[in-house]
Amino acid sequence: MTDPAALRPVSPDEWPAFAQAMSDVFGEEMDSSFVERPPATAELDRTLGLWDGDRVAATSGVYSRTLTVPGAVVPCAGVTWVTVSPTHRRRGVLTAIMRRQLTELHERQREPLAALWASEGGIYGRFGYAPAALRGNLTGRTRRTAFRPGVDLGTGTVTPVDVGAYRAAAPRVHEALRRWVPGALERDERWWQRLLRDPADRRDGATARRYLLHTEADGTVTGYAAFRVRARETADGEPDGTVLVDEVRGRGTPAYAALWRYLLDLDLIRTVEYPHASADEPLRHLLADARALLPRPVDGLWLRLVDVDRALSARRYPTPIDLVVDVRDEFCPWNEGRWRVAGHPAGGYCGRTDLDPDLVVDAGALAAAYLGGVSLGTLHAAGRVTEVSPGAVALAATAFSWPVTPWCPDPF
């Protein structure tokens, strides 16, 4: 077992070796600028590295993010850059990294939640993480994407713009919308800069990223979209291009629908792909043909409740709840035990109690249900939740739900 104390933050001078270690394990060629110096989003004091002589054998980092949860916005530790060299596997290194991160978050009373994007699905469940927001992976043939009669496209205008105009207008729309969607993350200047990077060697045969703005008659920007096009032909010379959609956001149905109509009507395009769509993307409900776009949902954002009391007190509950939950959490023992969870649409409370439990739930199941995208009833059916008081599962499943499907289009 590796001693968590052997892990330490990386210094600026050590960054190139740290970045190269990530590149080696991920099996991808990092941009030279990334290897040479930390990116603007890096927080070196929140990194952890394990050194074997002059060589970096393991890496990890944390971003200080802000996450939308049901009814609130909460600080969240964005876990990233987690690698362990093949020479140091099966020695407890990853466990030491996870334990060190979560213990420091708890002891320093920093973020009550931690989140990550998992490179492999079987790794992080044993540390109390669980998929809490799916990505929809929408695909379809554009010729079948006619809208239902009566869809309101409004009177605004969709205009192709350069990256400068997009960068000036899109953040305001994003900020207005992201506070209503559980799983959404803030984007400050650093994150917009990262999002808009477009190196030619990462385009996989597609065009440079293209941008759209939706503008009302008074000049107000009410929507934006980012996309690429990959041109190709069939064997008999017919056009068979693909529009690769990065993001589409609109402040209201007309702006959203008009942006999609532009994308779906592009010349020479026959297929649309939207990997980071919401698992319940509204576009599907605009279509006359319900089978025109096929979702293939996969896990997106994984969540971990660092402190059960702070996390459950932070979110809101659409219906009243007052239950005792017995939490099982071997990896973070400070969460073990019985908690009274009370809440309603205006606030929440969670504190220690000696009362008999209504539910018994493991930490991963609680994390899966936290954003409202996974039902506690489903987790009960899977054996992850034990009902002690009759009706407690139905009450908790209703109170932990949320009207807006969790969605995070920002891998980190």
The answer to whether 4-111 and 138-296 have equal CATH topology is yes
Residues with a known catalytic role: 124, 412
pLDDT (tens digit, 9 = 90+) per residue, 202-221? 899 999 999 999 999 999 99
pLDDT above 70 covers a percentage of the chain that reads: 99
Tokens 């944390």 map to which residue?
62
pLDDT (tens digit, 9 = 90+) per residue, 44-78? 999 999 999 989 999 999 999 999 999 999 999 99
pLDDT band at 31 (very low <50, low <70, confident <90, very high): confident
Does 95 show up as a binding residue in the annotation?
yes
H, E, C per residue of 301-369: EEEEECCHHHHHHHCCCCCCEEEEEEEECCCCHHHCEEEEEEEECCEEEEEECCCCCCEEEEHHHHHHH
pLDDT (tens digit, 9 = 90+) per residue, 68-118? 999 999 999 999 999 999 999 999 999 999 999 999 999 999 999 999 999
Give the separation between CA 147 and CA 256, rounded to whole angstroms: 13
CATH code of the region 308-400: 3.30.1050.10
Does 82 show up as a binding residue in the annotation?
yes
Does 327 show up as a binding residue in the annotation?
no
Q: Which helix (H) or strand (E) holds 379?
A: helix 376-381
Does 84 show up as a binding residue in the annotation?
yes
Give the separation between CA 132 and CA 117, rounded to whole angstroms: 11
pLDDT (tens digit, 9 = 90+) per residue, 382-397? 999 999 999 999 999 9
Q: Which helix (H) or strand (E) holds 211?
A: strand 210-215
Task: State mean pLDDT over 186-194.
Answer: 97
Does 119 show up as a binding residue in the annotation?
yes
Give the separation between CA 9 and CA 12, rounded to whole angstroms: 10
Query: Is residue 5's pLDDT more than 80?
Result: no
- CB burial of residue 211 (10 Å; 0-12, 13-18, 19+): buried
pLDDT (tens digit, 9 = 90+) per residue, 214-244? 999 999 999 999 999 999 999 998 999 999 9
Does 241 show up as a binding residue in the annotation?
no
Domain boundaries, the chain: 4-111, 138-296, 308-400
Does 195 show up as a binding residue in the annotation?
no
**Topology annotation, domain 4-111:** Aminopeptidase (3.40.630)
- Residue-by-residue DSSP string for 65-94: EEEEETTEEEEEEEEEEEEE-GGGTTSSHH
Q: What is the pLDDT of residue 28?
A: 85
Domain 138-296 bears CATH identifier 3.40.50.1820: no
Query: Is residue 26's pLDDT more than 70?
Result: yes
Does 90 show up as a binding residue in the annotation?
yes
What pTM value is reported for the model? 0.96
Q: What is the pLDDT of residue 110?
A: 95
Question: Do 243 and 293 form a contact (C-beta atoms < 8 A)?
Answer: no
Question: Do 129 and 366 form a contact (C-beta atoms < 8 A)?
Answer: no
Question: Do 149 and 257 form a contact (C-beta atoms < 8 A)?
Answer: no
* Cβ neighbours of residue 412 closer than 8 Å, sequence gap 6 or more: 63, 65, 78, 80, 117, 185
* For the chain, the helix, strand and coil percentages under 3-state DSSP, each to the nearest 5: 30, 30, 35
pLDDT (tens digit, 9 = 90+) per residue, 262-296? 999 999 999 999 999 999 999 999 999 999 999 99
